Structure 1
């Protein structure tokens, strides 16, 4: 056990050192010579202080992102190899004779451990965003969001685990397929509920107050043949200085949402460009395509989890203190595999997302025909969020669901020069 723990610790430290070296020493985020002095060059729209803050904050933020991802995997492995997961299972079995309550108790204990262990990293990330002027959120509000996250994630995860273990027991060979069949309606249902049930737990949403701007946005929507009666704004200025807008929900609960920071910091032509971008997602049905892609990817993922899960238990079950596939103590292994495969698939899903975002940008350019507003919007997005215009390659591959600011500005210039 000591060798396994020591090896896991060493691997995690080497992983962290690699990304520290890559982000702070080797990663290239410089502006290509051909773009220096153009509208895509941050030096043309940021002052020296903004450039320095952007570089420093981006490196810290990206480093925390990369070391946070495998931290839970490391924690799950330690729980398994040290036999702590088995002890947690025995404790859960003493809480009730009912299997459902035992699983819920185990998941609750596991969530408490993961939340407590991850809290320092999450707190450091919050404090850095506060120190660099990105976050405006009070400590009390931040804690409230952490509590909401816990009480949303815990029942959903507990319900999923209860169903998954029941399926494993009843259908050992095909549990992953039946589990996927159940995730389809559940995912659609949650996506339908998110705008009206989940999102309002974190922030206040209300119809756009600026009626003239709403009229202009709805007029733009009419040009795009989009049925729309309302645009919503959300009071994100209580939590951040960053800018954003998005489309969420499906069916009758579909919403176009503007952060109030976007309304406060951008001019109307720039806001209309952002709205045209979101309308592009609607017209090209990116929400539904994204949902379909997620569901297909989750089918392949569950199959891969099943194969790896059974292979690891057959080869290393004794070392990991796992008695079989339906052993509740094996849950950390299941979650570890899901996390690793999700991260491994992120370059593909991010690439698809960047393609959709680029298409939505192109649609917005064609709809508004306002090059100046498009360029100014991307520049303001970069300044408000202290986002690097040209991040290092690994950051882009694993983290960016949007094209980089430099790529987006270049696309505007190229589209309108043709």
Structure 2
């Protein structure tokens, strides 16, 4: 029976990968609409032939890798259950200590280690691919350092979450999902508060913006937007990537305006001010808090569905999966599998909301700066630096794009008839 289910899972995975390969490289239409050819949104007007070729290649490979890795992770959790690895991890933990918290830590360490090793080849392929297309500038030692930090940060976070989650399951088999959701509210806010000052500096060095004239102009925009910022930070990303980014992070007194140094190296001042105005728009329009509310709402629904699905699976296939009850720590891979699938299924909705917010932020930035030309050249440079596909396949857009496509962003600005922002 185990071999039969394993064979079916592998066959289904191979079929999915084959379909996505055909769709991304042959089936999807990524051509520029006739009405937009020759406009500022047409990549042929701002990328040379080599850049055009590389952007199509790199985007296609990156999208395909996403559709390979996502169900591969689901397959991993399924096999950990099906072949009894989860049960073995549980026995190892139970035999090592009588303390529940230590048992949880030991089990989670083995599961995290196996998951990391199984997923490492895909992560390495992604790293090598970005290096070969000159997106990443990071050497292997630095990349591995970030990987190790990732492992332990994720382990620490999961240890806290899993310890509390399975304690709640022990206390209330029927209502654990509700209590878990209630506790997730202060925990999520606490993490957002700590992220800029505790977690982010583990990966990169942050320091006040060196260009004080530019900082003054950015802070003037922040004051106009009524953002209580006293400093603008830059982060040394040039040693890791050629991509461009900026963001406003944190909540409350830990809010920060952050610029990657790659932006400072590659963009003109007017383009930088447009990007900062865009990021400030998220603060002004309360997108951070709307995002938190949306996340908490989806978490509530997700935990409720996970509870129902876990109970059903254990009742019907618990013996095959070696799980005797929901509150057994060996059920964790099932929990992770279900939540990963639900997150993937909900991504079209969350991405749609995010794209709407990004469109609003673009509009706000143009109104604040009064500079449509800088908006267009910024989008064009972002495309060039990241070798982004201007018009990606529709399915890729639904499942991956939290921002509007560059075709949409540039054409929206170019076709806006408003004369005076």
Aligned to 2:126: 125
- 1:265 aligns with 266
Is the contact between residue 229 and residue 257 of structure 2 (CA under 8 Å) also seen in structure 1? no
Q: Secondary structure of the residue that 1:318 maps to in structure 2?
A: helix
Q: CA deviation at 1:28?
A: 1.4
Measured after TM superposition, the shift of residue 226 of structure 1 is 2.7
Q: How does 1:164-203 map to 2 (within 5 A)?
A: 164-203=165-204
In structure 2, what is the Cα distance between the partners aligned to 1:227 and 1:182? Answer: 29
Match of 2:69 in 1: 68
The reply on whether 1:306 has 2:307 as its aligned counterpart is yes
Superposition pairs for residues 12-411 of structure 1, below 5 Å?
A: 12-411=13-412
After superposition, the C-alpha distances for 1:54-74 in whole angstroms (9 at most, x for unaligned) are 000000001111111111210
Determine helix, strand or coil for the equivalent of 2:234.
strand
The 10-residue stretch of structure 1 (126-135 or 321-330) with the greater mean CA deviation from structure 2: 321-330
Contact 1:347 1:398 in 2 (8 A): yes
User: CA deviation digits over 1:147-190, x for unaligned, max 9?
Assistant: 00110011211221111111111111110000011111111001
Partner SS for 1:94: helix
How far apart, CA to CA, are the structure 2 residues paired with 1:35 and 1:242? 26
Secondary structure of the structure 2 residue equivalent to 1:247: strand
Instruction: Give the drift of 1:193.
Output: 0.3
Q: Distance in 2 between matches of 1:297 and 1:51?
A: 38
Structure 1 range deviating more: 224-233 or 291-300: 224-233
Instruction: Indicate conservation of the 8 Å contact 1:371/1:416, yes or no.
Output: no
2:153 counterpart SS class: helix
CA-to-aligned-CA distance 1:44-91 (integer Å, 9 cap, x gap): 000000000000000000111111111121011111111221112111
Distance in 2 between residues matched to 1:223 and 1:304, nearest whole Å: 44
TM score, norm. by length of structure 2: 0.98
CA distance in 1, matches of 2:156, 2:122: 24
Task: Map Cα deviations across residues 224-261 of structure 1 (whole Å, 9 max, x no partner).
Answer: 23332111111110110001111110000011111100
Q: Distance in 2 between matches of 1:221 and 1:170?
A: 48
Q: Is the 2:229–2:256 contact (alpha carbons within 8 Å) kept by the matching residues of 1? A: no
Do 2:32 and 2:391's aligned partners in 1 also have CA atoms closer than 8 Å? yes
Residues in 2 aligned to 1:262 and 1:373: alpha-carbon distance in whole angstroms: 14
Where structure 2 has 5 or more consecutive residues not aligned to the other structure, the ranges are: none
- Secondary structure of 1:297's partner? helix
Q: CA deviation at 1:300?
A: 0.6
CA deviation after TM superposition for structure 1 residue 416, in Å: 4.6
1:66-119, Cα deviation, whole Å (9 max, x unpaired): 111111210111111112211121111111111211111011000000000110
Q: Is the Cα–Cα contact under 8 Å of residues 229 and 255 in structure 2 kept in the other structure?
A: no
Q: Is the 8 A contact 1:362 1:415 kept in 2?
A: no
Question: Is 1:136–1:239's contact at 8 Å kept on the other side of the alignment?
Answer: yes
Q: CA deviation at 1:356?
A: 0.5
**What's the TM-score, normalizing by structure 1?**
0.99
- Stretches of structure 1 that go unaligned for 5 or more consecutive residues are none
Q: Determine if contact 1:234/1:257 at 8 Å carries over to the other structure.
A: yes
Could you tell me how far 1:402 is from its partner in structure 2? 0.4
Look up the SS of the partner of 2:361 in the other structure: helix
- Please give the alpha-carbon distance, in whole angstroms, between the structure 1 residues aligned to 2:247 and 2:417: 25
Encode CA deviations 1:2-22: one digit per residue, 9 max, x unaligned. 100000110111111111111
> Helix, strand or coil for the counterpart of 1:325?
coil
Supply the distance in 1 between the matched residues of 2:269 and 2:165 (Cα, whole angstroms): 50
Distance across 1 between alignment mates of 2:48 and 2:209? 33
Q: 1:332-375 CA deviation, whole Å, 9 max, x = no partner?
A: 10110011111111111111110110000000011111111000
Residues 390 and 407 of structure 2 are in contact (CA less than 8 Å); yes or no, is this contact kept in structure 1? yes
